Chains A and B, each alone.
Chain A
Amino acid sequence: MSTQPLSNQPRPMDFESKSMRRNKAWRATTNYFVSGLCILATVLVILPLVAILFYLIYKGASSLNLAFFTHIPAPVGEAGGGMANSIVGSGIILFLASLMGIPIGIAAGVYLAEFGRGKTLATAVRFTADVLNGVPSIVMGISIYSLIVVQQKHFSALAGGVALAIMMVPTITRTTEEMLATVPHAIREAALGLGVPKWRTAISVSLRTASPGIITGCMLAFARVAGETAPLLFTAFGNQFWNFKLSEPIAALPLQIYVYAISPYDEWHRLAWAGSLVLIVLIMVSVTLVRIFANRGVLKGGS
Chain B
Amino acid sequence: MTPERESSSPLPVPSPLPAPPVASAADATPTAVGATQSPIRDFLSKRGSGSFADNSFAAVMLLCACSIFAIVLFIFVILVVHSRLSLIQFGWKFFTRQAWDPVSGDFGALPFIYGTLATSLLALCMAVPLALGVAIFLTELCPRVLRAPISFLTELLAAIPSVVYGLWAVFVLVPLMRDLIGPFLYKTLGWTGFFEGTNFGVGLLTASMILAIMILPIISSLTRDIMNAVPNSQREAVLALGATRWEMIRIGVLRNSRIGIVGAVMLGLGRALGETMAVTMVIGNHPDISKSLFAPGYTLASVIANEFSEATGDLYLSALIEIGLALFLVTIVVNAIARLMVWAVTRNAPARVN
Q: Are B270 and A134 in contact (CB under 8 A)?
A: yes
- B interface bracket (residues with beta carbon within 8 Å of A): 35 or more
Residues of A within 8 A of B273 (CB): 136
Knowing A134-B270, A139-B327, A197-B50 touch, does A261 contact B134 (C-beta < 8 A)? no
Q: Is B44 engaged at the interface, CB distance under 8 Å to the other chain? A: yes
Knowing A49-B153, A135-B328, A138-B324 touch, does A41 contact B129 (C-beta < 8 A)? yes
**Number of residues from A at the complex interface, CB < 8 A:** 94
Q: Is B136 engaged at the interface, CB distance under 8 Å to the other chain? A: yes
Contact stretch, chosen from A67-75, A77-85, A227-235:
A227-235
Residues 292-336 of B at the A interface (beta carbon under 8 Å): 301, 304-305, 308-309, 320-321, 324, 327-328, 331-332, 334-336
Q: Mark A160-203, 1 if CB is under 8 A from B, else 0.
A: 00000010011001000010011000000000000101110010
Query: Contact residues of B with A, CB < 8 Å?
Result: 44, 50, 53-54, 57-58, 60-69, 71-72, 74-75, 78-79, 81-82, 129-134, 136-138, 141, 150, 153-154, 156-157, 159-168, 170-172, 213, 216, 220, 244-247, 249, 267, 270-271, 273-277, 281, 301, 304-305, 308-309, 320-321, 324, 327-328, 331-332, 334-336, 338-339, 351
Q: Are B309 and A233 in contact (CB under 8 A)?
A: yes
Residues 125-150 of A at the B interface (beta carbon under 8 Å): 125, 127-143, 145-147, 150
Q: Is A61 engaged at the interface, CB distance under 8 Å to the other chain? A: no
Q: Could you write out 8 A-B pairs with CB less than 8 Å apart?
A: A31-B244, A42-B134, A52-B165, A56-B164, A140-B75, A223-B159, A229-B161, A230-B277
Residues of A within 8 A of B67 (CB): 104, 108, 169
Query: Contact residues of A with B, CB < 8 Å?
Result: 27-28, 30-31, 34-35, 37-42, 44-46, 48-49, 51-52, 55-56, 59, 103-105, 107-108, 110-112, 114-116, 121-122, 124-125, 127-143, 145-147, 150, 166, 169-170, 173, 178, 181-182, 195, 197-199, 202, 223-224, 226-230, 233-234, 237, 254, 257-258, 261-262, 269, 272-273, 276, 279-280, 283-284, 287
Residues of B within 8 A of A39 (CB): 137, 141
Rounded to whole Å, the gap between the CB of A213 and the closest CB of chain B is 11
Q: Are B65 and A143 in contact (CB under 8 A)?
A: no
Q: Are A166 and B246 in contact (CB under 8 A)?
A: no
Q: For the A-B complex with A34-B246, A143-B78, A254-B161 known, give 16 more contacts whose Cβ atoms are closer than 8 Å.
A: A49-B153, A55-B172, A111-B64, A115-B58, A136-B273, A136-B274, A138-B305, A138-B327, A139-B328, A142-B324, A143-B324, A197-B53, A198-B54, A223-B159, A254-B277, A261-B166
Complex A-B, nearest 7 residue pairs according to Cβ-Cβ distance, in ascending order: A227-B161, A136-B274, A41-B133, A199-B57, A107-B64, A111-B61, A134-B335
